[in-house]
Structures are given as structure tokens and as C-alpha cells.
Amino acid sequence: MTQDAGSIRFILNETEVALSDIAPTATLLDYLRLDRRLTGTKEGCAEGDCGACTVLVGRLVDGELIYESVNACIRFTGSLNATHVVTVEHLAAKDGTLHPVQQAMVDHHGSQCGFCTPGFVMSLYGLWLSNDAPSPADIEKALQGNLCRCTGYEPIVKAAEAVARARPSVVFDPILKVRASITARLQQLKTTDTISLTSGEDRLIVPGTLSALADILAEHPTATIVAGSTDVGLWVTKQFRRINPVVFINGLDELQTIRETADGLTIGAGVSYSMAFAKIAAAYPVFGNLIDRIGGEQVRNMGTIGGNVANGSPIGDSPPPLIALEATVTLRSKDGARTLPLEAFYIEYGKQDRRPGEFVESVFVPRMPETERLAVYKISKRRDEDISALCGAFRIAVAGDGKVTSARIAFGGMAGTPKRAANVEAALIGKDWNEATVISAQNAFDADYQPLTDWRATAAYRQLAAKNLLMRFYLETGGESVQLRRFEGVA
């Protein structure tokens, strides 16, 4: 049985903290508000949607200190070892002078009832720290995970623009001048030793290395692995599930690598959406666009592709494009590693091919030949921060004679698992890539999928939308002449 060892050590604003008795499911938000009385951080939704609880977490990535906005409501305190947690209380100077980001919110009337304001301030502060000259799109992206019911976003966007312009004249900031000392302190707090703590009947384990993780999972095969906690956090805050023991893997550098070779990208299971974005968007721009629509910035800073894949949700967004791109998943345990096509990982609803003691180590995404076309369409009720009703990925190769030589189509939201549209693919391959083929292939969706009706969409809507997406893909890949012909027909 794993023995108690170590403690969770991090820096909270200026103070170093060491916790040795914390429940594995204790949230950072409760710790801040209840234990530390830092009540500037608010609780709105407790599910990562509203951003009222936004704080910054600084961590070392390849030795460099980066600060990211996160949702304290679904971030577990046990996941914070060797980090710097920055709350809104840390921003103003000791004499009460507001930080320029806060002052800009005042100057531009960015607050009314004020409940959302600390969260907005922290998201803007995260942007201000990482981006000298944010574009309107950068500002929108940074605020995607913050909701305001009263002010309207324009004054807040204006505050963000103003504070970026005023940046060179800033004399006071609690982080900029102490980056080197914070980096040194975090390096000291980082450990390759396993931290293991009991709290009542519960146990929290933070492995220091990948091999320690494999040993721990061999000993505790039913343990809950937690990476970014953007799924697991809600099991706790919304479903009140008791999970025990909990193994935190977010601090494992060995899982945080993203390797690019001539063959493709190998994405470590611990790589967050934010960290993966640049490389994925460069290789597959449409996949990058999809990542920008997963949660808000805070969720993308915490959530991992590994967690999305391992969770096996039929409405997870990354499996459809990954399956269309012929991705493979590598699972590791104490006994070694095995690699399988991602589509084979999904057995049925709630059941993945993950054996006791195994964890997802990485996902490999092969390069797609330049002659092939890829599209990913996410259908949800809101553009931002919404879960898909359905998400479809289409990949096709068309030969010089206009015939389809290969097709890989995968959907989320259409079955109990992310699933390929094998019948639609068969109806396309070998045929001319034209409207008649597409119309005939649309019928094959009925053989591939029998979707459910739920609060996101009816079965009929899903089926029709999937069929229409195939037509959209055709129009977008058919070239201007095809599109013009159709639009003229409609007119």
C-alpha cells in the first residue's frame, strides 16, 4: 500500500503553502474562499462555464514560467504542486493603487453588478502578461470563458485594448519583476518523488515520474486518473461523485511533450489544448479552428487531448478529426506499451479498450498527404463554450480523373461512441466526386447511425445535419464552379 509521503507545495500570491491533509476532490475555489478567505474569486456555475472563479496558475514549461487562466471551481488543490497561484487580491499595489488592468475596467465602465468582474480581470491579466499587442481576435479568445449578464462585452474589450496600449508605461505589476525568483522557487518545489496523502478514507497521489505512475496504477488499477480535471471536476461539483484514490498526472513533464517528425505529430497525453494548438493548427488548420471552439480559454489551458480521448465521450470533439486522420493511441502500463488505431479504442458507450493498470501515454497523428482534403464541422447551439450536438470530420482523396480514391468520415454525437461512417465512405469510394454521388451517399447515413434525441438535438435533426454536412463538404471541396452552379440554381 502506498505510504504517505510529501505534501502539496505551491506559492499562493506571495506565500508558500504546504498542504498535507487535503481531500483528493477539494477544489482550489473552496480552498481560496473558505480556507484562505480570498473571496475575490467567485463561484458562479461551479462547472467551468462562467469564468467567475478565474485565477492564474503559473507553471514551468521547459524551464520557462508561463501563467495561464484556469477555472478554480474545477481545479483540484491536489493538482497544484510546484505552481504559482495568482488571485485577484494580488493585483493591486499595497497602497491600494489598482493594477492597470483593473483601472482600465474602471475607466471603460467594464463592470456593473461586479460579480463577474474579478474573473474578467484575471482573464485580461493573463492576456496582458502573455501578449504585448493582442488583436481583437486574441481578446475575444481570452474572454471566451467569461460570462457577464449585465455590462455587455464592448466596454470590457475596450479595457483590454487600452491596457495593451498603455503597457510600456506600467510601473507596477506583481509578477513581471519577480519572474526570475518565482521560477527559481518553482524549480525547488518541483519533485520527481511521488507525493501520496491520505485524508480520512481517501487518498491522493501525485506521481513524480512516468514509471512511478505505471507502478501506482498497477497497485491501484481502479484509481481515477486526473489530467486537466475539466471532465472529472464536474463529476465532483455536479454529480457529487466520490472518487478514490485519485492520481494527478498534470505535473508529469514526460506526458507534456509534443513531438513533430516527418511522419506526424506525437502528442503526449498531458498536453493541454492551449499547448497543442500552434502545432495542430499549423498541420491541420481546420482542426485548429475546432480547438478554438472547445470550452473557453480556461478550459483549453487545463483540458488535455489525452483526457478527451480517454474519457470516450461520444460528444468529445477531438476523436472525429483524429479518427479521420488515422490517429493511433498508445497505452502504457507497468508491463509495457501497446498502440492501437484510435477508432478501435472505443468499444461501446462508456467502455474503452483500456486494461487495468493502463494509462493513455500519447496520441499519434500521421501527416495527411497534401492532395487530400480535410474538414471538421462542429454543430452546437452556441458558437463558443458549448458541447457539440454533433461533430463531423470528413477526409477525402480525389484522383485526377475526378474519382474518389479514399474517404474517411467520423462523427461524434451520432452513436454511443465516436464512430466512422463506413457505409457513407463505401458509397463514395470509386465514384465521381459530384453532386449525384453525394446525394446518393447521403442515404447511407441511415445505415451508419441511429442517433439519440436529447436536450442538444433530436435524432432527426442530427441525421439531417450529418447528411447536409456531407453536401457542405462537397461544395467546399468542389471548387468555385460547383458552388456557383448551385447558387445560381437557388437564385
Ligand X SMILES: Cc1cc2nc3c(=O)[nH]c(=O)nc-3n(C[C@H](O)[C@H](O)[C@H](O)COP(=O)(O)OP(=O)(O)OC[C@H]3O[C@@H](n4cnc5c(N)ncnc54)[C@H](O)[C@@H]3O)c2cc1C
Footprint of ligand X (CB under 6 A): 47-49, 74, 224-232, 234, 249, 269, 294-295, 299, 302-304, 306-308, 310-311, 316-317, 359-360, 385, 387
Helices 100-107 and 117-130, packing angle to 10 deg: 120
User: Taking CB under 6 A as the rule, does residue 34 contact ligand FES?
Assistant: no
Partner whose footprint covers residue 269, from ligand X, ligand FES, none (CB < 5 to 8 Å by kind): ligand X
Q: How far is the CB of 248 from ligand X (least distance, A)?
A: 9
C-beta of 36: minimal distance to ligand X in Å? 24
Phi/psi class of residue 38: alpha, beta or left (left: φ > 0; alpha: ψ in -120 to 50)? beta
Cell of 325: 486522420
Q: Which residues contact 462 (CB under 8 A, 6 or more apart)?
A: 389, 390, 413, 414, 449, 451, 452
232 binds, among ligand X, ligand FES, none (CB under 5 to 8 A by kind): ligand X
Find the shortest distance in angstroms from Cβ 79 to ligand FES.
15
Q: From edge to edge, which strands make up the β-sheet containing 202-206? A: 195-199, 202-206, 246-248, 224-226
- One-letter amino acid at 429 equals I
Please report how close the Cβ of residue 46 comes to ligand FES at its closest, in angstroms.
5
Q: Is 152 in the site for ligand FES (CB under 6 A)?
A: no
- Selection from ligand FES, ligand X, none that 78 binds (CB < 5 to 8 A by kind) is none
Element (H, E) at 264: strand 264-268
- The DSSP line for 265-315 is EEEETT-BHHHHHHHHHHH-HHHHHHHTTSS-HHHHHH-BHHHHHHH--TT
Q: How many residues appear in the chain? A: 491
Which of residues 151 and 308 has its CB atom nearest to ligand FES in the complex? 151
CB of 298 to ligand X, least distance (A): 8
Using CB under 6 A as the binding rule, the residues of this chain from 345 to 384 that contact ligand FES are none
Q: Are 244 and 386 in contact (CB under 8 A)?
A: no
Q: Which is nearer to ligand X, 105 or 291 (CB)?
A: 291
Count of residues engaged in binding ligand FES, rule: CB under 6 A = 23
CA of 343: how far to CAs of 52, 121, 331, 372, in Å? 37, 42, 14, 20
Toward ligand FES, which CB reaches closer, 55 or 246? Answer: 55
- Looking at the Cβ atoms of 100 and 314, the one nearer to ligand X is 314
Q: Does 113 contact ligand FES by CB under 6 A?
A: yes
The answer to whether residues 293 and 333 touch, using CB atoms and an 8 Å cutoff, is no
The span from the CA of 279 to the CA of 285, in Å, is 9
- Of 234 and 459, which has the nearer Cβ to ligand X? 234
Q: Whole-angstrom Cα distance, residue 218 to residue 335? A: 9
Give min distance, CB of 298 to ligand FES, in A: 7
By beta-carbon proximity to ligand X, the closer residue of 162 and 305 is 305
Q: Is 148 in the site for ligand FES (CB under 6 A)?
A: yes
Measured between its terminal Cα atoms, the distance across the chain in Å is 73
Of positions 115, 153, 172, 461, contacts ligand FES by CB under 6 A: 115
Q: Whole-number minimum distance, CB 470 to ligand FES, in Å?
A: 36
Residue listed under C-alpha cell 460570462: 147
Nearest to 273 by CA among 297, 300, 251: 300
CB of 432 to ligand X, least distance (A): 35
Least gap, CB of 68 to ligand X (angstroms) = 13
Partner whose footprint covers residue 252, from ligand FES, ligand X, none (CB < 5 to 8 Å by kind):
none
Q: Which stretch binds ligand FES (CB under 6 A): 91-99, 147-155, 241-249, 385-393?
A: 147-155
Q: Taking Cα atoms as reference points, which of 289, 462, 315 lies closest to residue 375?
A: 289
CB closer to ligand X out of 207 and 307: 307
Decide which of ligand X, ligand FES, none touches 217; Cβ closer than 5 to 8 Å per partner kind. none
What is the spatial distance between Cα 183 and Cα 187, in angstroms, rounded to a whole number?
Answer: 6
Other CB atoms within a 10 A radius of the CB of residue 230 amount to: 28
Q: Is the Cβ of residue 230 or residue 256 nearer to ligand X in the bound state?
A: 230
CB neighbours of residue 483 within 10 Å:
13
Shortest CB 234 distance to ligand X, Å: 6
Closest CA to 134 of 163, 104, 107: 163
182/393 with CB nearer ligand X: 393
- Judged by CB under 6 A, the chain residues 44 through 103 that form the site for ligand FES are 44-46, 48-53, 71, 73
Closer Cβ to ligand FES, 71 or 442, answer by number: 71
Lookup: cell for 244 = 478514490
Query: By the criterion CB under 6 A, which residues form the site for ligand FES?
Result: 43-46, 48-53, 71, 73, 111-117, 148-151
